[in-house]
Amino acid sequence: MKHTENFKQAFKLIENTSQFKNIDESISVIFYTLYGRSKKLFYAMDVLRRVNVPEISHLEILPLLRVYIESYFHLCYVVHEEDKEKVKEGYKYLAYYSQYSTADKMKESQTLGDLGKSFVEEYGEKKNIPKKYKFLNSPKSLANKIGKIELWEKHYNTLNSSLHFNPGVYHNYGDYKDGKFVFDEKNEQFYLLEEAVYRTLEQLTWLIIGEIVLFLDNNELEGEIEEMINGYCLENTEV
């Protein structure tokens, strides 16, 4: 990726600040988890972008890009919600409900081992997420709450087909020639999507970095990152 080194440098600058090292304890676990998840997803997608293997393309990035967007939604909520105790409590409910949902699906299994039975016993009691926190369990509701519904509609929702099989995406894996489907035949749409995926990844990474920088409220860091973003914008008219 053209701007990989800038992104790596930005992450390093963020992590070197005292503000990053001293996140409010009430949200530190959630914040560092989201930050680490986002950073690792970026590196994973960057590896897929740069690997010199003909069988690997931007298509393998799409499922990770969807996860990346969802992490961005959560990160935006965490850094913008002024009541940090509310953040802590909301994610506590979400964590238990996620475990319960898994345990509930495991109850009817005939192949549970001791660990599985122990898990079901620990998380088998149903505890619904309070109404005021239910948006955390719905990417669309979360996106709407933080004012990112357009991103959900334009990218997150349309990436469903990258996770679940849909024969309608055949054009990603071949094309018709003389009425016959030819495997791995790359058409114009394939290359247009490739360009769009890499551009979206770059823009989303700057959005994630920008949200974190503003949250940390470090003037020196803001100046350095702003200079990087301005340089990117000068090279890319569509932002």
Q: Please state, in angstroms and rounded to a whole number, the distance separating the CA atoms of residues 15 and 29.
A: 15
pLDDT at position 239 is 38
What are the pLDDT digits (tens) for 42-60? 999 999 999 988 888 899 9
Neighbours of 30 (CB within 10 A): 22
Q: Which amino acid is at 144?
A: N
Higher pLDDT, residue 33 or 177: 33
Kindly report the pTM of this predicted structure: 0.89
What are the pLDDT digits (tens) for 64-114? 999 999 999 999 999 999 999 999 999 999 999 888 888 888 877 878 888
List the Cα angle 15/201/212 in 5-degree steps: 30
pLDDT band at 151 (very low <50, low <70, confident <90, very high): very high
Residue 101 domain-assigned (yes or no): no
Q: Which tokens is 239 given? A: 């932002």
20: domain range?
4-91+148-235
Q: Please state, in angstroms and rounded to a whole number, the distance separating the CA atoms of residues 156 and 146.
A: 15
Residue 114 domain-assigned (yes or no): no
- Number of domains into which the chain is organized: 1
Residue 231 domain-assigned (yes or no): yes
Residue 190 domain-assigned (yes or no): yes
- Whether 87 and 26 have beta carbons less than 8 Å apart is answered as yes
Residue 118 domain-assigned (yes or no): no
Residue 143 domain-assigned (yes or no): no
Residue 219 domain-assigned (yes or no): yes
Q: How far apart are the first and last CA of the chain?
A: 16
Residue 135 domain-assigned (yes or no): no
Higher pLDDT, residue 104 or 1: 104
pLDDT band at 1 (very low <50, low <70, confident <90, very high): low
What are the pLDDT digits (tens) for 176-220? 888 888 887 777 888 888 999 999 999 999 999 999 999 999 999
